Structure 1
Amino acid sequence: MSTTTVVRPSIWSRLPLVRQLAQSVGWQRGMLVAGLVIIVVFLLTAALAPILAPYRFDQLRDANGTFGAQLPPGGAHLLGTTVGGYDVLSRVIWGAQTAVLVIVVAVILSIFAGVLLGLVSGYFGGWLDRVLVVICDAIYAFPSLLLAIVMSIVLSGGKSSLSFGILAAAISITVVFIPQYFRVIRSETVRIKAEAFVESAKVIGASNARVMFRHVLRNSTRTLPLILTLNASEAILTLAGLGFLGFGIEPTSAAEWGFDLNKSISDVAAGIWWTSIFPGTAIVLVVLGITLVGESLNDLADPRLRTRHRAIASSATPTEVDELEEAL
């Protein structure tokens, strides 16, 4: 009598990004790796900002005196200085820390509120569902940046200190993101609550709270990582937009890339390029890295796209690719 040995995958191989990386092929894997590298560098820069930055974000002088305004790159200031006399390299590095804090707070708040509202709305339905759907649709139809500006003015008068400024910016972005999580979780909840295993849980006497959080919620959050990556990149752009328009954090309270871009507008016409190109490049690279990861995860979540990429990477013919897709 023969015995079959079942080989269980290791814990490391079951980690989300590791599993997706193993499933990816060709350009898809290249995009995912490139995005992950950019994000890791971004996070490390934010975490090690006090060590990497040569000066504080609000420092205007050292032992040799004041830095001076609009100094070209070189010497003690590798990326030059701004019109306000701040070191550009230090502002860019400290700006990564501000961006990470805002993204983390905004995403956590929006996921908590959006998922909870979507779960309750989709599970109970009725008048509560109709009211929440109308409110979220109205918020979703409103221009996101304009809504963030309004919320920033209401919460902080447009400018504030580091802690309250980050909270105000995060809440402003959260209001924009809640409808996205709400709509996804609500549609999944409406679909899942009609499944047989949910009805069975109700029959054996499980409470509504147990059914919602143990059975419905755990099966309706599969697409959240995709939305999270897209929202993280949008949060960077919204934060930069608020700072660029003058509704961000005070420069003496924290470094913020959008604010630095706003102050460098007049420098461009005068041929002073370094005050704008470096914070602008930081925004582009971070958004690009997060977007690459998000698009790769989106492809890997779709069996048809995943099969097509794998077939192309193995030099399969178009007919073979179509046969693989029809089999799914």
Structure 2
Amino acid sequence: MTDAIATRPPKRLLRDRLPVVHQLRQSVGLQRGMLVAGLILTGLFIFTAIFAPLLAPYGFNQLRDIDGPFGSQQPPSSAHPFGTTVGGYDVLSRTIWGTQTALLVIIAAVVLSIFAGVFLGLVSGYFGGWLDRVLVVICDAIYAFPSLLLAIVMAIVISGGQSSLWGGVLAAAISISVVYIPQYFRVIRAETVRIKAEAYVESAKVLGASNSRIMVRHVLRNATRTLPLIFTLNSSEAILTLAGLGFLGFGIEPTAAAEWGYDLNKALADVSSGIWWTALYPGLAIVLTVLGITLVGESLNDLADPRLRGRRRVAKASGAVAETSVVPGGTLIAGPGGLDGLEDGESFEEHGIEVKS
């Protein structure tokens, strides 16, 4: 009894059970580097979006200060570290305020698409029949449609192409949600079809559990394990879609909110004239934000795989063992010299070989 208590593993602290901290402690090597880099970039993006009113030196639509107008296409200076745009806006301020717009669109679009896609996929995969066939056809038709073109059509239908901050955010979120719902639907439906044939689901049916209880307690919990990866990938795609809408002129009006795609559109003529600062910083913000979110998603997906999750523990247990072979009577473990280092007339102990019976 005493030995059992002594060998019992210590209870994990609360900080070790947190999702990000737990995954970070599991990571190792290049995988940890990717996760840390992604968390830093994503955290910087979220921090900037939350504290944009404090970090931005000017408003997103401010054209002048107490000294007068900012001026058009002014190069970087002490007053404007990133210069000014062709419209006279401060590039640094609009780049910072653009993080807030992107975060609002991500939250609205991904949350809407997750709820709709997960619900439809769960119902379709569990009940099947004619409802499943109809939903599959509809979602496949939407999924086959070009996503950016569908987002443009939805933005025009909802807001006429341009609108205020919340109108533009809602229009972009709904248009992006329509594109992403089929992705969540297909993933959840496939997992639901697989899970509902498992023995524990059949046992729950035999015990008299209702369909709603089985769907929520047994199927949904196991079918949503891949959602973190899809969530992060769709978050980065939402930023690119929003930037594409703004770049093509179907985004948010510049007087309503700052949006990176719109700023890139207005900077096209500047690039050919040697004015590089108006396009560099909004484009760099898009690249770094998408890169950070993607790195986090890919790292979490690798760590969620049980085959990769135990690499750290296996590496520690293996140590410097070179080769392992199973022989009659036990396991033959060779030392650093390997099995090929054995010579006639020499003992196993001289080569660091241990025989376990």
Place the TM-score, normalised by the shorter chain, in its bin.
over 0.9
1:66 to 60, 69, 74: 69
Q: Give 1:323's aligned residue.
A: none
Range 204-213 or range 221-230, more displaced:
204-213
TM-score (norm 1): 0.93
Amino acid across the alignment from 1:64: D
Structure-1 residue corresponding to 2:180:
177
State yes or no: 1:242 paired with 2:209: no
Give how far 1:151 is off: 1.0
Are 2:54 and 1:51 aligned?
yes
AA aligned opposite 1:191:
R
1: CA distance, partners of 2:310 / 2:11:
24
1:145 corresponds to which of 131, 143, 148: 148
Kindly indicate whether the alpha-carbon contact (under 8 Å) linking 2:233 and 2:297 is maintained by their aligned counterparts in 1. Answer: yes
SS in 2 for 1:69: coil
Alignment of 1:243-322 (within 5 A): 243-306=246-309
Between the aligned partners of 2:149 and 2:323, the Cα distance in structure 1 is: 49
Q: 1:93-137: per-residue Cα shift (whole Å, max 9, x none)?
A: 000000000000011001000000000000100000001111111
Task: Measure, in 2, the Cα distance between the counterparts of 1:45 and 1:149.
Answer: 28
- 1:10-49 matches, within 5 Å, as 10-49=13-52
- Correspondence 1:212 to 2:215: yes
Query: Hey, what's the Cα distance between the residues in 2 that align with 1:140 and 1:259?
Result: 26
Partner residue, 1:85: 88
1:112 aligns with 2:89: no
**Structure 1 residue runs without a partner (length 5+):** 321-328
* Aligned residues: CA RMSD: 1.9
Query: Higher relative contact order by CA 8 Å / sep ≥ 6: 1 or 2?
Result: 1
Q: Kindly report structure 1 stretches of 4+ aligned residues shifted beyond 3 Å.
A: 303-320
Report SS of the residue matched to 1:43.
helix
* Partner amino acid, structure 2, of 1:255: A
CA contact (8 A) 1:28 1:309 kept: no
Q: Which structure is higher in helix share? A: 1
Contact 2:26–2:312 at 8 Å: present in 1 too?
Answer: no
The alpha-carbon distance between structure 1 residues 29 and 316, as it changes in their structure 2 partners (threshold 3 A), is farther
Partners in 2 of 1:192 and 1:267 — Cα distance?
A: 55
The 3-state SS of whatever aligns with 1:275 is helix
Query: How far did 1:242 drift?
Result: 0.5
- Give the paired residue count: 320
TM-score under structure 2 length normalisation: 0.85
For residues 172-206 of structure 1, the C-alpha deviation after alignment (integer angstroms, 9 at most, x for no partner) is 11111111111111111111111222222222222
Greater radius of gyration (CA) = 2
Bigger mean CA offset, 187-196 vs 113-122: 187-196
